[in-house]
């Protein structure tokens, strides 16, 4: 009987000591928070493969532009009359055949193309679609004259069969002509009209 009383007293004392220690240091029993990188959902193997496929298609497009090769560039675009491109000069090109015709015409006149892309971002839309955005800077010689431009590019990719195809492209200048902007959208230097070049004598 005495042994049972002593055992019960010891257990009660141990429980009281543990509770007191936890009350004195409430954070001791908590597990450290997982790093933010671990808290984010991990990419599945299928998603990783899809992202690699999109990036490969994007890199093929950029390489084709650098080499001014219409076949390489057009191989990345969706071969469909529903293909739509919003061009850097504000025009719209519809249909794969028209895009190809325009590319062949332009590439016949240019050489020494240098294209730099940066801040490339790929956003998967499931496993059959993706949006790619980037900043670009391009210089080249056209009709014997050097030229240079910079801007932004958005590409919409779709899985067509086993290949990733660009089904839409939107290119825009990163420094648009202020005269084409709404007054309420003008900021900084764009708030004032661009100075007109002096008239030639």
Query: What CATH number does the domain located at 44-175 have?
Result: 3.10.450.50
Show the tokens assigned to 39: 């808290």
pLDDT digits (tens, 9 = 90+) for 165-200: 999 999 999 887 777 777 887 776 544 444 444 444
Residue 30: predicted pLDDT: 52
97-106, 153-162, 177-186: range with lowest mean pLDDT? 177-186
Separation of alpha carbons 88 and 105, rounded Å: 16
What pLDDT does residue 180 have?
72
What is the β-pairing status of strands 84-86 and 92-94? antiparallel
Euclidean distance between CA atoms 191 and 181, whole angstroms: 9
* Percentage of the chain exceeding pLDDT 70: 73
Q: What is the pLDDT at residue 188?
A: 65
Rounded CA separation 85/96 (Å): 10
In this predicted structure, the answer to whether residue 133 has a pLDDT above a threshold of 90 is: yes
**How is the chain split into domains, by residue range?**
44-175
Q: What is the distance between the alpha carbons of residues 157 and 77, in angstroms, rounded to a whole number?
A: 9
This model's pTM is above 0.85? no
Region 152-168 average pLDDT: 98
- Sorted by sequence, the CB contacts under 8 Å of residue 151 that are 6+ apart come out as 88, 135, 136, 171, 172, 173, 174
Residue 190 burial (C-beta neighbours within 10 Å; 0-12, 13-18, 19+): middle
């Amino acid at each position: 009987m005495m042994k049972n009383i002593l055992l019960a007293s010891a257990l009660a004392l141990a429980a009281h000591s543990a509770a007191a220690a936890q009350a004195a240091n409430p954070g001791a029993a908590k597990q450290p928070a997982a790093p933010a990188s671990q808290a984010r959902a991990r990419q599945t193997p299928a998603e990783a493969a899809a992202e690699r496929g999109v990036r490969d298609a994007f890199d093929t497009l950029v390489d084709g532009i650098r080499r001014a090769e219409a076949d390489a560039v057009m191989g990345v675009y969706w071969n469909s009359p529903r293909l739509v491109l919003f061009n850097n000069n504000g025009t719209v090109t519809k249909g794969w055949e028209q895009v190809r015709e325009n590319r062949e015409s332009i590439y016949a006149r240019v050489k020494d193309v240098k294209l730099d892309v940066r801040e490339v971002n790929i956003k998967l839309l499931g496993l059959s679609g993706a949006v790619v955005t980037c900043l670009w800077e391009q210089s080249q010689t056209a009709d014997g004259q050097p030229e240079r431009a910079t801007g932004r590019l958005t590409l919409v990719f779709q899985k067509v069969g086993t290949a990733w195809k660009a089904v839409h492209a939107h290119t825009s200048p990163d420094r648009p002509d202020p005269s084409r902007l709404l007054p309420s959208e003008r900021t900084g230097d764009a708030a004032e009209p661009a100075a007109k070049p002096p008239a030639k004598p």
